[in-house]
Chains A and B, each alone.
Chain A
């Protein structure tokens, strides 16, 4: 099933929540409103014709100049062998989004990574801790305005300190 058909089904069932569909892009995607993401994902998984049983990838992108953080979901269906991309924009100053761990357990670690590196808070996540960075790290390194601290626990992070 192609993106336009999937979008059509979504809109017929969930109305405006499904957002717009960009079929002109090389890899078509559906924009979803933050509040509706869990409903949309559950629908995409449970509708027999769609059957997106696998969250193949989930990641965050910081569009700093537009004041947005974007979470991108790459879904795949092992039943029908088709794929779709779902994108959700959240404001940069209040980046909160419902978690989809209840839909796909694979989102557990992926959302922890996004929280860690991009700084999106996932409401309803069972264990939202940093995954890769140390627990006491301040800031989210993959944000565009992140500045590497001069030192961490008294250890300099400057390259020159290694050359001395």
Chain B
């Protein structure tokens, strides 16, 4: 059959005078680009969104309530489930808040083990974030490249603590196990291999015209808006604010380490747009490599965990600590009543804050840009709901 004679007329429509009836669309809770189970109610006029209202709670597992039932030590494996992509930081946050409540000092080698584990986890989390972002935009190959590298980090972390995702590596007072024999060599070998991989990923996507045009100038957040909505971590730094909890409210051994804090500069569009949020993560991976190298060179011998009573009963009081997680400033608040069970635990996560700003940033965006917005904010749904 020949198509000759068939005329297809393509009409290009502008928005002028063509406003249509407002549509209410449902996206999720099972949608491939929502990174977990969450739902949006979208009010749209044609392809332009009036607003996208997030509906969360599908992954609410009452982790905060569980802490009141299982005791201080027993809660550690549950913290892995708060943010399963970057579980080390949850481990670290919980350990730190308990240590502050009970006045426990962590041995120096334990701190080094923590930072090595956390920074490796940051690389793997950023790789996942960047990879799924690229995938959501529509390119599939770089996703496989990033996941290939991520598997290697998972191998290292598995050697360290026996798990690839939910690590349960840290303990109140230190870490569960010392680094395995030969770990430093294998990690250095990996870093030598991995750093050129970031360049490769840069060549593949960062300068790709289609990719840049999908992200540049999309959903920019100004610095004031980001602070008012309490955006944290890479999302905040993308707005140009040089702020990192590791540097500005130092904890652990970070004051002894040298690293830069990359910020968004609006290189291809507006400061604080989706591209800036992407490029900040790419650059942070290099900084994490630097940190791991320094730690491996400086790690002293000694014990990795302090002597902590089996039944930990911190004195009555409350404490709030902040950890720079892969998704930014993660706040852990814990109230002790002097018994062996926490009286109340609250976790304020980066994704929770990022979810709260989606409604505001989505107004006036095209429907397809919502996917770019969610993935650029690096939202992990279990972290929102806890």
Residues of A at under 8 Å CB distance from B?
Answer: 25-27, 53-57, 59, 61-62, 72, 74, 78, 81, 85, 104-106, 108-110, 117, 130-134, 141-142
Contact = CB atoms under 8 A, between A and B. Distances in A.
Interface in B209-233: 224, 227-230
A132 B229 contact: no
Contacts of A106: 228-230, 353, 356
B356 A27 contact: no
Interface size class of B (residues with CB under 8 A): 35 or more
Contact of B230 (A55, A81, A117): A55
Contact of B348 (A27, A59, A131): A59
A141 B56 contact: no
A64 B74 CA distance: 24
Given A56-B348, A57-B346, 13 more contacts: A25-B318, A56-B322, A59-B333, A61-B343, A74-B348, A85-B320, A104-B228, A105-B228, A106-B230, A108-B356, A110-B348, A133-B60, A142-B344
Nearest to B320: A74
A34 to B, nearest CB: 19
B223 to A, nearest CB: 9
Contacts of B186: none
B155 to A, nearest CB: 34
Contact of B320 (A27, A54, A55, A104): A27
B162 interface: no
Nearest to A104: B228
B interface: dominant SS: mixed
Contact of B62 (A57, A62, A141): A141
Nearest to A112: B356
What 5 pairs between A and B have smallest CB-CB spacing? A106-B230, A132-B57, A59-B346, A109-B356, A57-B348
Contacts of A133: 57, 60
Contacts of A54: 227-228, 230
Interface in B281-337: 317-320, 322, 329, 331, 333, 335
A25 B317 CA distance: 8
B243 interface: yes
Contact of B329 (A56, A104, A105): A56
B331 A74 contact: yes
Contacts of A104: 228, 230
Contact of B344 (A56, A61, A108): A61
A53 B228 CA distance: 7
A27 B230 contact: no
Contacts of A62: 344
Contacts of B369: none
Given A27-B318, A104-B228, A109-B356, A81 B333 contact: no
A54 B248 CA distance: 15
Interface centre among A56, A81, A130 (most CB of B within 10 A): A56
A134 B348 contact: no
A57 B54 CA distance: 20
Interface string B242-256: 010000110000000
Contacts of A57: 320, 331, 333, 346, 348
A141 B62 CA distance: 9
Contacts of A134: 57
B241 interface: yes
A50 to B, nearest CB: 15
Interface in B241-287: 241, 243, 248-249
A94 B331 CA distance: 29
Contacts of A141: 62, 65
